[in-house]
Structure 1
Amino acid sequence: MSSNTPPSFLSRIAIAIGSFFAILGNGRLAADVTRLRAGEALAADVAPREIRVEVPVEKIVEVRVEVPVETIVEKTVELRVEVPTDTAALQLLGLLQREARFVDFIQEDVAPYTDAEIGAAARVVHAGCRKVLGEHFTIAPVRPETEGARITLPAGFDAAAVRLTGHVVGQAPFTGTLGHRGWQVTQVQLPQLTDPQAAKVLAQAEVEL
């Protein structure tokens, strides 16, 4: 049954009997019934009134705090391992011996041999030495001009790279004929040594069993 449908007669009798005893035992309910009988509206029938309560709210203030941050800088350190000059020289001799039998050729007394025999051996040594230079050194001319060209050396020229010959008089600039372009090493790529002391052995002794 819907809440808006009036109760039946029998239901009203039951409600009346129950309300009678309830009013006797509850003074507040009796007062509500009295107001209802006087024509006053029930609390449920009265539209609720909007009650506005102002609650103080703390003002939120945005504060910007700058915190110093430590900057981490990665620094690359280039570690250069310098090979001692004497070790590098021994290493070069070892390469020339291995590829060109250079030490064997120089240590040999060539006086008893004919020019043809020496020339044949020199050809082998030459090919091996050329191979070593090409694989481990980058070699370029000191002067870019062709040999026989006339050049002028200004004041302050590099005396370590250019050698004056002939009749040298006065101060630079000098003008002369290029007799030799010169050679200079621009890059060295020697193998990495695991035992520098081993570089002293230019050629191992061979024992045939």
Structure 2
Amino acid sequence: MESSAPARETAGGPQHAFGERTRARRAIGVIVAAALLIGSGFFFGGFFRFVDTIVNYQTPSPLAADGIVVLTGGAERITGAIELMTAGKARRLLISGVHPDTSATRLGRMVEAEPDMMACCVDLDRRAANTIGNALETAKWARRNGFLSLIVVTSAYHMPRSMLELSHAMPDIRLIPYPVTRPGLTLGNWSEDRSVILLLLQEYLKYTATRLRLSLGGVDGLAELVGGTFG
């Protein structure tokens, strides 16, 4: 009788340990699943807010500023900026991110701009290679001209990230968004077009990375990573 109790304890020991390990694995699984669910909620919640901002951009009226900056990437951006200049919405225009081999004359022909306006009132920035560079070069240009307000022209999906970079580079200058949309890109029905969904997701990831970098104070190493990877 005395020898049977230890035998039962010995037999039950491994089973008890196995049960504890199983419960621990289940608990870890529940925690991981909850974390993934919460993380997904934050990600997609932020994404939908991002898209809502893009779709519902409203340009102030009346629209006027000291200068205009257009971030290159599509002819519709430059066309929109030239139209603003022609309408007298600002005194000077910076086209940022121009290819080194592209002349003002060629740009003017592309968007049917008046040669006199291109000669007198349009500056070209050929140094910027990405959105971070756009912001830095625009800040230099605005301060050199003594501007206190700028109209920012770029694609609607690119605007949130551009405004982050520009406001970080020149917090003392008022920025007015003027989003444009390239032909064939319908943002109002974005959820029905797989290519538009992918475009917006990609831009949202870039925007999120930019927010992270700037929240860390624009760390140089991370800035180089984000600039080289995301542009």
Normalising by the residue count of structure 1, what TM-score does the alignment of the two structures yield? 0.25
Q: Which has the larger radius of gyration?
A: 1
Normalising by the residue count of structure 2, what TM-score does the alignment of the two structures yield? 0.23
